[in-house]
Amino acid sequence: MNTNLYRTVQDIADLFIDLPDSELERAWNWKDHDEEGIRFAFFVTLQELRQLAVTLSTPSSSLMTKPTPAQHILSLYHASYMDLQAALLGLSPEDAEKIFAEGEWNVCKTYSHILATDIAFTAVIRYALEGHRAGTWKRDQMPDEDEARLSGISGMTEEEYQALIKGPFDNMLAYHREFHPAILAEFSSITDKELDLPSTFWEETRFPIRHRLHRYEAHFVQHTIQIDKTLIAIGQAPSEAKRLIRKVYAALAEVEGLLIGAEKMDDTAILATASSITERTREIENILK
């Protein structure tokens, strides 16, 4: 991932996140466009990010190689992760804990489930890869000692792990921001042949590793929709600015997805896009002041 590009998008998101819809009407001109207000900054940013993705995906781009199937699958997972993060921008810890109906999960509990499942999926895939690569894979479920060892990918003891997934909402978000790119980096090297090798989880079916990688995205989609519904139920339906930020995050995720597994590249186009977004953000910031 390119931290410069991510930070520039984060900066414009932070600037707009709490703006009421009426503030988007503030006058701002971009070339010949002068009737949309400062909301038009989102559309310009969106186009720049999409253009960057097109540039990076062309055969003549600076990317050294075309993404492998595993890297493509991981890019889809990354897009779903970024969509959830955009949906949660600006949500206070207090609102994350709000329960809107008896028996329903609040945002914090749903996110705890998402994070715990990400850790579990990662342990299962790593266990399968280690077994196949060493020639020792068995159909049996992961032994307790291996489960404990592989759960150590979270970098915590069992007590620390429980404290995380049962703890404050902000702590889970912060940990996930570090853990998610580690997943992308570790599994970006999975070969095409390894995608079709069997793996063992709780199910009787020994699904191929390909299925496990796709489960990341599908599980995120399932519970992002759940969180979207919860946000509406607790009076936190997204504003126009939040909806626009979510679209920009999607465009950023497409660019970042193309960079998964990339070793060496000329980042001139990326830095140019980041610089353009930064300049625009400062211009809008001065208007809002």
Q: What is the pLDDT of residue 148?
A: 54
The token duo for 76 is 């889809």
The CATH number that applies at residue 40 is 1.20.120.450
Question: Residue 159 is encoded by which pair of tokens?
Answer: 């007590």
Give me the domain span that covers residue 43. Answer: 3-288
d(CA 73, CA 76): 5
| Rg (alpha carbons) of the chain, rounded to whole number | 21
- List per-residue pLDDT tens for the chain, 289 residues long: 678 899 999 999 999 999 999 999 999 999 888 888 999 999 999 999 999 999 988 876 665 567 899 999 999 999 999 999 999 999 999 999 999 888 899 999 999 999 999 998 998 999 899 999 999 988 877 766 555 554 555 567 778 888 899 999 999 999 999 999 999 999 999 999 999 999 988 878 899 999 999 999 999 999 999 999 999 999 999 999 999 999 999 999 999 999 998 877 778 899 999 999 999 999 999 999 8
Return all residues near 207 (Cβ < 8 A) that are at least 6 apart: 198, 199, 201
DSSP string, 129-149: HHHHHHT---SSPPPHHHHHH
Q: What is the pLDDT of residues 28-56, one digit of tens each?
A: 999 888 888 999 999 999 999 999 999 98
pLDDT of residue 144: 63
C-alpha–C-alpha distance, residues 196 and 192, integer Å: 7
Tokens linked to 106: 């609040």
Closest C-alpha among 171, 130, 137 to residue 152: 130
- Please count the structural domains in the chain: 1
